[in-house]
Amino acid sequence: MFKKVIGALVIAMVLSSCATVIRGVHEDLKVVSIPSGANVNLSTGERGVTPATFTKRRRGSFQVTVSKPGYYSQTVTVRSEASATGAAATAGNVATVGVGVAVDAGTGAWNSFYPNPVSIQLVPQPGEHPARQKRFADGGYPVATPTERAGMVRSPYTQRLYDVHTVPHGALVHDVDVNKLFLNP
């Protein structure tokens, strides 16, 4: 009888860390970019080229920097947060001994990475984009100046702000003040 009770307690303790057992303490983080073939540097030291996959412990936040010659580098913070999937796997802990709740919290097994995948659309630097180089040769259009605000540029003619959220990179934009065209960077 005593062996059965001890055996039942051991099984309950092992199963009480449900998320750690079911999900594990690692998660695959995917990094993709347009265009692909960009360099990826994680603040934790790992490196790769897009599309890339990194296996990381679910605990802690870190930075992902994506860069490619001729494009502006972009950095994204990846956070480790409690997820519905991890919480569901941990829910069984309340019904059992409860030791697993501490184990799951300590290992980060109930967390997931956000965002995952990290998806970056790189912005070409002025004068570097092939479409712009062709247009310069054909029409000699000047390039707008990017601003700190995403999707906003300054006209090379008047310095007026233009919203280019929906304008493709390398496309022509009309400066209404001087009735001339310029390129969206």
Please write the tens of the pLDDT for every residue from 62-118.
889 999 988 888 888 899 887 655 444 444 545 444 544 444 444 555 688 888 999
Tokens encoding 86: 């991890």
Q: Which one of 105, 123, 141 terminates a domain? A: 123
Q: How many whole angstroms from its chain centre is CA 79? A: 10
Q: What is the pTM of this model?
A: 0.49
8 Å CB contact between 46 and 129:
no
- Lowest average pLDDT, out of 10-14, 144-148, 172-176, goes to 10-14
Tokens encoding 56: 């990381």
In this structure, the answer to whether residues 55 and 81 fall within a common structural domain is: yes
In this structure, the answer to whether residues 132 and 70 fall within a common structural domain is: no
* Of 179, 129, 174, nearest in space to 153 by CA: 174
* Of 16, 8, 32, 15, nearest in space to 116 by CA: 32
Q: What is the span of the domain harbouring residue 179?
A: 125-183
The total number of structural domains that make up the chain: 2
Q: What is the CATH number of the domain that holds 82?
A: 2.60.40
